[in-house]
């Protein structure tokens, strides 16, 4: 990648005694925040969903309280000037923000127009815009997406385009809110290398991310850990690893095993997926798909079955067709050739309403699902449309709220919540429908470790689901919960089988841009003794066999 983008003049960011309370929230979202962000450094901010990380970023980029209204006390200074003394046009050239959900950031129909959108608003001459857009796309290694339509991009590709739209403005401070959430492991590694290079060339890079182990690989100079709207820890990465609760923050597996061995046992930690049965629920028969005749095939000649008892993780690189494949089963997209059968009936003959009685689908982006004025009404909408009994709806909604840990947000507006909380609302809205088959697209995006492990544990214990399918870039999620892996690559199914068999084939994983994690490596070392994959805490007492 090229690194000859115009270097920013160095700026400082100083935050003193900062607190912020949204007008419609009973308590401040952040309290007494004190930070100094220096140029040429990577600052990593970790913490659970809803702890105030996104609110802090909104205060830095001026969106709070200008757009997100509320009461701000304390100060945010850029080069010793208050943020509110800058116009939004000035701020857009000083502070670049990558949102958690790229769907909320992309406005143009084509990639070229999207990346150049900000420069157009600054009345930059056309030839200069084109030069900077080409330069930025090349810098990020995504020039091949230049002429694509944005609505046809995968979630990960949209994330890369949104980042390009930020970098093309050549801001001085980069705010990156969950920048890895939609990226496959190789793309995530590449993005982190870009962030490191940008910091090394003078940018102030602030990364908010739940994928702690990944971010630590680029050696952030400054680490901040937030809890309950306050800074609980501030220092170096080594200190975070020892301070953070491994049940709350996903730390490197070796650290979790060491720390778990020093504490009291916490009981059974091994998830045992239900064994697959022979009853077929979904069947793909020679399915191929393309969006239009003039476009390339997304995947071809797919043949596979989903059986009762399957817990399937679908892995593969950005743009491999994972979401498109699942939408075929839902009937949201019809196969170009071949057929998909749901309980023996072709989805071509079924309405979306009929399919929804069997399959509950959680979209990758929660904003594609959420619309109701309150969380309660959001979770009631599906079962009401399916004409479930009133008392059952109440019971199922209460249970879903408990599973997603949002009991206290019952009357809140879903779209006013954090991205991670919105994602959990979208999951809850499907859980309350009690569908026979649960499909989730990137269920852990925007989720802290404790929340996603907790709701996944609860989902696995629900007797209602005959099968569970989830698309993920989180290899550890697949390792812990799936009893079957489907690996997509280059429009074909590269592998389809038991988790322990597929995930042990490291060359195969590498060919599909799946990067082995510390947890996978530890599990493979101990597999002759454990005979199954386990979460890190459950590996205590099993020495390596290698």
Tens place of pLDDT for every residue, the chain, 546 residues? 344 444 446 789 999 999 999 987 889 999 999 999 999 999 999 998 778 998 999 999 999 999 999 999 999 999 999 999 999 889 988 999 998 788 888 999 999 999 999 999 999 999 999 999 999 999 898 999 999 999 888 888 998 999 999 999 999 999 999 898 888 888 889 889 999 999 998 999 999 998 898 999 999 999 999 999 999 999 999 999 999 988 888 889 999 999 988 876 544 444 545 555 679 999 999 999 998 888 888 888 999 999 999 999 999 998 889 999 999 998 899 999 999 999 999 999 999 889 988 999 999 888 889 999 999 999 999 999 999 999 999 999 999 999 999 999 999 999 888 788 899 999 999 999 999 999 999 998 878 888 889 889 989 888 889 999 999 999 999 999 999 999 999 889 999 999 999 999 999 999 999 999 999 999 999 999 999 999 999 999 888 765
Residue-wise pLDDT for 243-274, tens only, equals 998 888 888 999 999 998 887 654 444 454 55
Per-residue pLDDT reduced to its tens digit, 184-195: 888 889 889 999
Strand order in the sheet with 30-37: 30-37, 13-22, 70-78, 81-82
Residues in the chain: 546
pLDDT, residue 3, reads: 40
C-alpha span between 320 and 90 (Å, rounded): 39
68-113 pLDDT, tens digit per residue, is 999 999 999 999 999 999 998 899 889 999 987 888 889 999 999 9
DSSP 468-490: EEEE-S-HHHHHHH-SEEEEEET
Single pTM value for the model? 0.85
What pLDDT score does 273 carry?
54
Report how far residue 16's alpha carbon sits from residue 261's, in angstroms, rounded to the nearest whole number. Answer: 40
Q: Which domains, ranges and CATH numbers included, belong to the chain? A: 13-261 (3.40.50.300), 280-515 (3.40.50.300), 516-546 (no CATH)
Query: Which pLDDT score is estimated for 264?
Result: 60
User: For strand 280-289 and strand 337-342, is the pairing parallel, antiparallel, or unpaired?
Assistant: antiparallel
Quote the distance between the C-alpha of residue 262 and its chain's center: 32
Q: What is the DSSP string of 11-35?
A: --EEEEEEEEEETT-SS-SEEEEEE
- Contact between residue 422 and residue 366 where contact means Cβ atoms under 8 Å apart: yes
Backbone CA torsion sign across 72, 78, 79, 85: negative
């Amino acid at each position: 990648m090229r690194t000859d983008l115009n270097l920013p003049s160095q700026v400082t960011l100083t935050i003193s005694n900062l607190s912020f309370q949204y007008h419609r929230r009973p308590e401040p979202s952040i309290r007494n925040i004190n930070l100094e962000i220096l140029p040429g450094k990577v600052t990593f901010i970790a913490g659970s969903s809803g702890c105030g990380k996104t609110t802090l970023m909104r205060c830095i980029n001026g969106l709070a309280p200008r757009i997100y209204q509320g009461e701000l006390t304390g100060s945010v200074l850029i080069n010793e000037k208050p943020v509110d003394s800058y116009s939004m046009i000035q701020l857009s050239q000083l502070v670049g923000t990558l949102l958690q959900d790229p769907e909320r950031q992309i406005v143009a129909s084509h990639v070229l127009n999207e990346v150049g959108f900000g420069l157009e608003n600054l009345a930059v001459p056309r030839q200069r815009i084109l030069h900077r857009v080409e330069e930025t796309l090349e810098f990020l290694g995504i020039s091949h997406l230049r002429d694509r339509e944005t609505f046809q991009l995968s979630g990960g590709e949209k994330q890369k385009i949104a980042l390009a739209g930020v970098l093309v403005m050549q801001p001085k401070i980069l705010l990156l809110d969950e920048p890895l959430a939609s990226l496959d492991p190789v793309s995530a590694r590449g993005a982190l290398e870009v962030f490191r290079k940008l910091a090394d060339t003078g940018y102030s890079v602030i990364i908010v991310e739940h994928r702690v182990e990944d971010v630590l690989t680029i050696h952030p100079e400054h680490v901040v850990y937030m809890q309950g709207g306050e800074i609980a820890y501030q220092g170096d990465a080594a200190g975070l690893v020892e301070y953070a609760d491994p049940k709350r923050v996903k730390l490197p597996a070796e650290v979790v095993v060491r720390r778990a061995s020093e504490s009291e046992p916490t009981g059974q930690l091994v998830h045992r997926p239900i064994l697959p049965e022979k009853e077929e629920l979904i069947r793909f028969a020679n399915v191929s798909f393309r969006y239009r005749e003039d476009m390339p095939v997304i995947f071809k000649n797919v043949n596979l079955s989903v059986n009762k008892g399957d817990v399937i993780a679908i892995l593969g690189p950005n743009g491999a067709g994972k979401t498109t494949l699942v939408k075929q089963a839902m009937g949201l997209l019809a196969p170009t050739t071949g057929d998909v059968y749901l309980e023996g009936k072709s989805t071509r003959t079924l309405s979306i309403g009929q399919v929804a009685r069997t399959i509950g689908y959680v979209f990758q982006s929660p904003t594609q699902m959420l619309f109701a004025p309150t969380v309660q009404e959001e979770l009631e909408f599906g079962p009401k449309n399916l004409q479930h009994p009133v008392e059952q709806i109440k019971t199922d909604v209460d249970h879903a709220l408990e599973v997603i840990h949002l009991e206290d947000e019952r009357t809140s507006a879903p779209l006013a919540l954090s991205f991670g909380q919105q994602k959990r609302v979208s999951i809850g809205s499907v859980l309350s429908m009690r569908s026979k088959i649960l499909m989730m697209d990137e269920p852990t995006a925007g989720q802290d470790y404790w929340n996603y492990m907790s709701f996944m544990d609860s989902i696995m214990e629900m007797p209602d689901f005959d099968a569970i399918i989830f698309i993920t870039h989180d290899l550890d999620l697949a390792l812990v919960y799936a009893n079957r892996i489907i690996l997509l690559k280059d429009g074909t199914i590269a592998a389809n089988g038991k988790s322990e068999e597929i995930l042990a084939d490291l060359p195969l994983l590498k060919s599909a841009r799946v990067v082995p994690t510390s947890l996978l490596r530890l599990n493979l070392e101990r597999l002759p003794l454990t005979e199954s994959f386990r979460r890190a805490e459950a590996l205590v007492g099993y020495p390596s066999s290698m």
